[in-house]
Amino acid sequence: MPTLQEIAWKTDGPDIRFVSGHRMCSGCGIGAIVKTVLAASDKPVVVVNATGCLEVVTTTYPFTSWNTPWMHLTFENAASVASGIEAAYKALKRSGKITDDVNILAIGGDGGTYDIGFQALSGALERRHKFMYLVYDNEAYMNTGDQRSGATPFGANTTTVPVGKVSFGKPQWRKNLVEIAAAHRIPYVAQTAAHSIMDLYKKAQKGFNADGPAVLAVLQPCTTNWAFDPSLTMQYSKLAVETNFWPLYEVENGVVHINVKPSNRKPIEEFLKGQTRFRHLFKPENAHVIVEMQKMIDDEWARLLKIEESGIQF
Amino acid sequence: MSERKNWQEVELGAQLPAATSLGYKTGGWRVLRPIFDPSACTHCMICVTYCPDMAIPVAKSEQGVAGKGGRVYKGVVRLATNLDYCKGCGICAHECPSKAITMMREEEAEQASCKL
């Protein structure tokens, strides 16, 4: 396992694959996620990128922050284009026109993955194309100004499920992309978070080396629309893990393994505090929402522990 | 109607050479400037890997550099923050375990550097 020094040399050293000058909000963790994932590949990487924050901020014409082949796609077809590239690459390799080994990485935000690109992703996983799909999950359509997505958590205030006299924010729980991807019986699926660079690097490496499709879901606290101080991005990512809101686990060949088990599970309030999207939950009339949220998180965690313990394969 | 082209003749979409955004200096966005104190740094690389703007350059040093507690740190070491690209988010200062980075308002930092 490489040390943080070796990782830093790969992410910020002379062989940098993702360069400065992009226009992400100050304090946005996507930069840290992308540079770490790209550094985890020991082969050249071909990147396909669905529309989303990352695409918009890194390729404002005539600028690009990518120091590796990169392609912009519409919202829905990142996984389809990755499939096409993989098929073309295989054909070219068979005919001897390419000799290099490459890794193919598809990147999408949560809107482009949980909702719009979901059908294409499912199809690509089912066809067993060898590529990795990275989703940076900031829990709503943040690029267009905070609209609800399939990844938005219960109780969050967004512009399309606004808080008011009768609404406490999003009334549904988010979907579990990792389990949905694992249900395709693919070799590697993992969930990780922006603050856990070592874990992210390790999982990206496993995903690139998997014998088939891999999916990596990474939590990315959004300083602009969760509305906290830009210096606290990694802090909120950490809190999400410590409260079991976003457990770090992986499904390798169907076997579930939980990477971090917080010895003292913090109450969910610690994660909710300071975020504008959850501000209304601290009013007395919304106290039941936090209670319900805590119960759901605990139930989900107990379920995950049970799955891991049983050793049942996905 | 223009003439129909077959797929070999269709022009490619917008193409760019790699890494051109290095020409776009995002340092102008900064309100707070990170002040790095090399004498308190252990070169743990937490700030480097967390920096979303790749604004903390690294180097390999055989003879090592002096850091926290007067110790000499060899191998991969961090250098001064690249203020051309640093947006001043303050993640590095917040996450630094040895408090080697403090955030200062840009105008104060500018004044302080003029006095020197």
Residue B8 pLDDT more than 90? Answer: no
pLDDT for res A22 = 96
Using an 8 Å CB-CB cutoff, list chain B residues near A232: 94
Interface test with B, best of A4, A12, A20, A222 (most B CBs within 10 A): A20
Give the gap in angstroms from C-alpha A148 to the nearest C-alpha of chain B. Answer: 25
**Separation between Cα atoms, residue A48 and residue A51, nearest integer Å:** 10
Please report, as a single letter, which amino acid is at residue A193: A
**Separation between Cα atoms, residue A55 and residue B35, nearest integer Å:** 31
Cα A213 to Cα A45, A102, A264: the distances in Å are 15, 14, 35
pLDDT for res B9 = 79
pLDDT for res B2 = 64
Taking the CA atoms of residue B26, residue A63, residue A35 and residue B45 in that order, the dihedral angle to the nearest 10 degrees is -30
Report how many helices (DSSP H) and strands (DSSP E) chain B contains, helices first.
Answer: 3, 4
User: What angle do helix axes A118-126 and A78-94 make, rounded to 10 degrees?
Assistant: 30
Q: What is the pLDDT along chain A (314 residues), one digit of tens a residue?
A: 789 999 999 999 999 999 999 999 999 999 999 999 999 999 999 999 999 999 999 998 889 999 999 999 999 999 999 999 999 999 999 999 999 999 999 999 999 999 999 999 999 999 999 999 999 999 999 999 999 999 999 999 999 999 999 999 999 999 999 999 999 999 999 999 999 999 999 999 999 999 999 999 999 999 999 999 999 999 999 999 999 999 999 999 999 999 999 999 999 999 999 999 999 999 999 999 999 999 999 999 999 999 999 988 87
Domains and CATH numbers, chain A: 4-310 (3.40.50.970)
Residues 6+ apart with CB under 8 A from A150: A110, A114, A115, A118, A174, A175
Residue A238 is encoded by which pair of tokens? 């950490």
pLDDT for res A131 = 97
Residues within 8 A of B (CB atoms), A 90-149 only: none
pLDDT in tens, B101-111: 999 999 999 89
Give the gap in angstroms from C-alpha A24 to the nearest C-alpha of chain B. Answer: 8
Q: Does residue A187 contact residue A133 with C-beta atoms inside 8 Å?
A: no
Chain B residues bordering chain A (beta-carbon distance below 8 Å) = 14, 16-26, 29-30, 43-46, 48-58, 60, 75-76, 78, 82, 84-85, 87-91, 93-95, 103
Using an 8 Å CB-CB cutoff, list chain B residues near A62: 16, 20
Q: Does residue A186 contact residue A255 with C-beta atoms inside 8 Å?
A: no
| pTM > 0.90 | yes
Residue B63 is encoded by which pair of tokens? 């003879």
User: Which residue of chain A is at minimal alpha-carbon distance from B75?
Assistant: A5
Complete DSSP assignment for chain A: ---HHHHHHHHHSTT-SB-S---PPTT-THHHHHHHHHHT-SS-EEEEE-SSHHHHHH--TT---BSS-EEE--TT-HHHHHHHHHHHHHHHHHTTS--S--EEEEEEEHIIIIITTHHHHHHHHHTT-S-EEEEEE-SSBTTTT-B--TTPPTT---SSS---SS--S--SPPP-HHHHHHTTT-SEEEEEETT-HHHHHHHHHHHHHSSS-EEEEEE---IIIII--GGGHHHHHHHHHHTTSS--EEEETTEEEES---SSPPPTHHHHTT-GGGGGGGSGGGHHHHHHHHHHHHHHHHHHHHHHHHT---
Residue B12 pLDDT more than 80? Answer: no
For residue B114, count CB atoms less than 10 angstroms from its CB and return exposed for 0-12, middle for 13-18, buried for 19 or more: exposed
Neighbouring CB atoms inside 10 A of B83's CB total: 16
E-assigned strand segments in chain B: 32-36, 58-66, 72-78, 101-105
Residue B1 pLDDT more than 60? Answer: no
Across the interface, which of B57, B90, B94 has its CB nearest the CB of A12? B57
Residues 6+ apart with CB under 8 A from A157: A163, A169, A276, A277, A278, A279, A280
**Separation between Cα atoms, residue A305 and residue A283, nearest integer Å:** 33
Quote the DSSP letter at residue B93: H
Quote the DSSP letter at residue B86: -
Using an 8 Å CB-CB cutoff, list chain B residues near A10: none
- Quote the Cα angle for A59-B93-A157, to 5°: 60
Q: What Rg do the C-alpha atoms of chain A give, in angstroms?
A: 19
For residue A26, count CB atoms less than 10 angstroms from its CB and return exposed for 0-12, middle for 13-18, buried for 19 or more: buried
